[in-house]
Amino acid sequence: MDLLINSHHHGDHTAGNAVLGADADHILAHANVPILQRRSAEKNNSVEAQKFADVTFEETWEESVGDENIKLSYFGPGHTSGDAIIHFQEANVVHMGDLVFNHRPAYIDLAAGASTRNWISILERAYKEFTDDTVFIYGHGNPTHGILGTRDDLLASADYFTALRKAVSDGIRDGKTTDEIAAKGLEGFDSFKVNGSADGIAGNLKTVFEEVTQTVE
Ligand SMILES: [Zn+2]
């Protein structure tokens, strides 16, 4: 059986469905992925160009394919509300999709149900579930921290989101605006700057401000 797996619905991870899907018996994804993908495509007038997952799962999906056992897990909303963690158990390789932007600012897709609070829990749970020998693949990296790594990267991402949330809650407590919180930035996350620029971190602080002020915590 030939399977195509969508880690989540974003176009840079599903636009290949129309091409690669022709060689796959099934396209597999979390149950929210086709819904979110269709909603985005309707906004962009690109529904015709989409091919959607035809096999979906809610919490876990597991099957042997050839010599591999593949397990997909959904640990709740993180980057979106449809992120699968894909474990190739024999090879001990895990694809994290966009649950890890490796040492760089993340895209936090609030419109698709993202939650930085649960994202931290997902990363900590994944850290515990896998081992030092597990090879991780990430949706995005940077020139010094690429798209392959070890589970320590998961904790680095969790620490980054924890720092974002603390900076925002401290700022709100001190009566700061979202622009003031973004301008202050984060101490100690130089590896998350892109080409030395803190703009992406500032953008993430604004998004987390939006998240925590619109959500009942
Ligand atoms: Zn994404």
Beta-carbon count within 10 A of 216 CB: 3
Give me the chain's average pLDDT, please: 96
Q: What's the pLDDT score for residue 73?
A: 98
Strands 60-65 and 68-73: antiparallel
Give 79 Cα–ligand 1 centroid separation in angstroms. Answer: 7
Q: What's the pLDDT score for residue 109?
A: 98
By percentage, how much of the chain surpasses pLDDT 90? 95
Which helix (H) or strand (E) segment holds residue 24: the answer is none
Give residue-wise pLDDT tens across range 76-133.
999 999 999 999 999 999 999 999 999 999 999 999 999 999 999 999 999 999 999 9
Give 100 Cα–ligand 1 centroid separation in angstroms. Answer: 10
Tokens of residue 171, six digits: 């700022």
Tokens of residue 142, six digits: 């940077």
Q: What's the pLDDT score for residue 217?
A: 46
Euclidean distance between CA atoms 26 and 2, whole angstroms: 7
CATH number of 59-214: 3.60.15.30
By percentage, how much of the chain surpasses pLDDT 70? 99
Q: What's the pLDDT score for residue 1?
A: 82
Which helix (H) or strand (E) segment holds residue 121: the answer is helix 116-129
CB 96 within 8 A of CB 5: no
Euclidean distance between CA atoms 171 and 186, whole angstroms: 12
Give 163 Cα–ligand 1 centroid separation in angstroms. Answer: 21
Give 181 Cα–ligand 1 centroid separation in angstroms. Answer: 25
Taken in order 100, 11, 62, 148, is the CA torsion positive or negative?
negative
Beta-carbon count within 10 A of 43 CB: 10
Euclidean distance between CA atoms 13 and 20, whole angstroms: 12
Q: Give the burial string for 104-117 (b: 16+ CB within 10 Å, else e).
A: bbbbbbbebbbbbb
> In whole angstroms, how far apart are CA 52 and each of 47, 114, 158?
10, 21, 31
Which helix (H) or strand (E) segment holds residue 184: the answer is helix 178-184
Give 199 Cα–ligand 1 centroid separation in angstroms. Answer: 19
| End-to-end Cα spacing for the chain | 44
Give 174 Cα–ligand 1 centroid separation in angstroms. Answer: 33
The whole-model pTM stands at 0.95
Determine if residue 58 is left, alpha or beta; phi over 0 gives left, psi from -120 to 50 gives alpha, anything else beta: alpha
Tokens of residue 99, six digits: 């649950």
Give 8 Cα–ligand 1 centroid separation in angstroms. Answer: 7
CB 69 within 8 A of CB 90: yes
Q: Is 5 helix (H, G, I), strand (E, B) or coil?
A: strand
User: Where are the domains positioned within the chain?
Assistant: 1-58, 59-214
Residue segments in the chain with a per-residue pLDDT below the cut of 50: 216-217
Give 32 Cα–ligand 1 centroid separation in angstroms. Answer: 14
Give 106 Cα–ligand 1 centroid separation in angstroms. Answer: 9
